[in-house]
A and B are shown apart, each in its own frame.
Chain A
């Protein structure tokens, strides 16, 4: 029982992508979306936003996606929050690696704004 997905935290350093992702997730998916521009930002804002799902860009300056995930897991409320990695065309083996880190899915970038919500929803429903 995972319930209905409504709150998503998206961690992404690119302003362009932030905007289009917000639009796609809010307008098409009807989700409530919080955007963070860095891993550090995510660690401070996640506890007050209470996301049900976290979308995490893999490659970010400073704290990258996998490191952010590790640090998130240290937080008391986030030991099991589902995390999805967002990353450019993945090499074989990379997906397995991300799953090993505890991600429940990988969404390839560049994503299609028209179908992003459906991709997120599909991953959520498989939980």
Chain B
């Protein structure tokens, strides 16, 4: 073990030494380049330059300077044919070489060998808000009937549930350190606190505790305290309300359901954009990169970013001008724009911000700083937008927003020639639910359907609350036939859900109308047609999906 550590230290020392020499090496390249005559071919001089570049390509990545190697490789490949041609360089060639050498200067500070600096990677992982999802649930419960019922209900909401009737079996399963959320009973035949004691054992020596929810008939403070000490995130009284339980589980696993922040990067260096993309993607963000500022309008519309990251210095159109152009469109006034640049002059930075930017990051930027700046701006942007477009009870898109989305998606599907389905859903006899059990219970039913839809549809499908008990769903890249299959399965599962209220239990169904884009030119016609199908479904006896045929 100490050998490995010693090796790491030596390697780090060599790498540091290399890093220390890099400025001098770059300086030599710069000098070799500047020494070349403009109007004649200097074979020896060019070979010298070529050789310096070649060494840089061959060494950078070995010492953790991956980007040095990459940029240098591009330059080397560009120089290779010129070296053979032995012709005086034309202005275009000179410009290209000059650009690539200046890019080398830019990437010199990016040192990213995982073996050498794992710190930065770890920092990124911790910041990642959209880390791996935990959709697996271990239910530990000696009452078979109750355990099986939990399993069925949770699986309706998209959770993958394993049931353990015996603590012994559960302990064995935990040995492999699975990524799960545990739902644990407190009282077992062997001991009336066995559930808590078992969890205490399992949590021993773990850096990150296993998330556990306790379910218990006891309500004493001492038991609750022990449960908390055993890593209990929640403590639910028996029998737990399923909707309460799902709420808790959703909170714990919400990372998988929240939309990842979307970042549009505009930078003319492909190597730098790849680097930024990799850093941001590792933190769980969605990235779209554009290298030509003139091509920004389409991804701006289609990708719908939460934030735009713009390099200030780009040939043809600089970042500040680009920001001004973007701000000319009302629709993009509120998207945060963050500038990236090697500019350290505060006055210049302020000028850039006054032109429509929200923040200014100085290159080279540490990966964790990039991630945290991008996440904090995106979070606010998403939050602000959600106040405008989200329904407060369910968090789904509101009436206006879902209609806007439908407009948008119809245009896109037409342009790309892809399929698209639109569905309207209405809860059957909802007024009776409200009248019989009260509005709070009615709200819970609405929430449970909203959750079911979100969990069972794909991440890129769009769900909205259209009105009181009415929902709208946009299924991307899906024709009516496939949409019906999915929605009918959801309908069936929804009808089996048992809603509990003060000891009473009831079931609710919904009706659904579906159409796809094949027959319709625009969103409003699709909308009307889906509404007609919904009416059909209601008329034909409810609890069914009706589809518009050709």
Which residues of A pack against B, CB within 8 Å? 14, 16-17, 19-20, 23-24, 27-28, 59, 61, 87-89, 109-114
State whether A110 touches B62 (Cβ < 8 A).
Answer: yes
Determine the distance from Cα of A114 to Cα of B113 in the docked complex, in whole angstroms. 11
Residues in B with CB closer than 8 Å to A112 are 61-62, 115
Evaluate whether A19 and B14 lie within 8 angstroms (CB atoms) in the complex, with A28-B7, A88-B73, A89-B73 already known.
yes
Evaluate whether A23 and B73 lie within 8 angstroms (CB atoms) in the complex, with A59-B54, A110-B61 already known.
no
Which residues of B pack against A, CB within 8 Å? 3, 6-7, 10-11, 14-15, 17-18, 21, 51, 54-55, 57-63, 69, 73, 76, 115
State whether B62 touches A109 (Cβ < 8 A).
Answer: yes
Most B CB atoms within 10 A — which of A14, A19, A88, A114? Answer: A88
The one of A61, A110, A114 in contact with B69, judged by C-beta atoms closer than 8 angstroms, is A110
State whether B14 touches A20 (Cβ < 8 A).
Answer: yes
CB pairs A–B below 8 angstroms (11 shown): A14-B55, A16-B21, A17-B58, A19-B14, A20-B62, A23-B11, A27-B3, A27-B6, A27-B10, A59-B54, A110-B69
Determine the distance from Cα of A24 to Cα of B58 in the docked complex, in whole angstroms. 16
Determine the distance from Cα of A88 to Cα of B61 in the docked complex, in whole angstroms. 11
The one of A61, A87, A113 in contact with B62, judged by C-beta atoms closer than 8 angstroms, is A113
Evaluate whether A110 and B11 lie within 8 angstroms (CB atoms) in the complex, with A27-B3, A88-B73, A88-B76 already known.
no
B interface majority secondary structure? helix
Nearest neighbor of A24 in chain B, beta-carbon distance = B11
What is the distance, in angstroms, from A83's C-beta to the closest C-beta of chain B?
A: 18
State whether A17 touches B59 (Cβ < 8 A).
Answer: yes
Residues in B with CB closer than 8 Å to A89 are 57, 73
Determine the distance from Cα of A89 to Cα of B61 in the docked complex, in whole angstroms. 12
What is the distance, in angstroms, from B59's C-beta to the closest C-beta of chain A?
A: 6
State whether B115 touches A114 (Cβ < 8 A).
Answer: yes
Nearest neighbor of B14 in chain A, beta-carbon distance = A20
Determine the distance from Cα of A15 to Cα of B77 in the docked complex, in whole angstroms. 24
Residues in A with CB closer than 8 Å to B51 are 59, 61
Determine the distance from Cα of A60 to Cα of B362 in the docked complex, in whole angstroms. 39
Apart from A17-B59, A19-B14, what 17 extra A-B contacts exist at CB < 8 Å?
A16-B14, A16-B18, A16-B63, A17-B62, A20-B11, A20-B62, A23-B7, A28-B7, A88-B54, A88-B57, A88-B58, A88-B73, A109-B58, A110-B60, A110-B61, A112-B115, A113-B62
What is the distance, in angstroms, from B10's C-beta to the closest C-beta of chain A?
A: 6
Residues in A with CB closer than 8 Å to B59 are 14, 16-17, 109-110
State whether A113 touches B11 (Cβ < 8 A).
Answer: yes
Most B CB atoms within 10 A — which of A20, A87, A110? Answer: A110
Most A CB atoms within 10 A — which of B3, B11, B115? Answer: B11
State whether A110 touches B57 (Cβ < 8 A).
Answer: yes
Determine the distance from Cα of A20 to Cα of B10 in the docked complex, in whole angstroms. 9
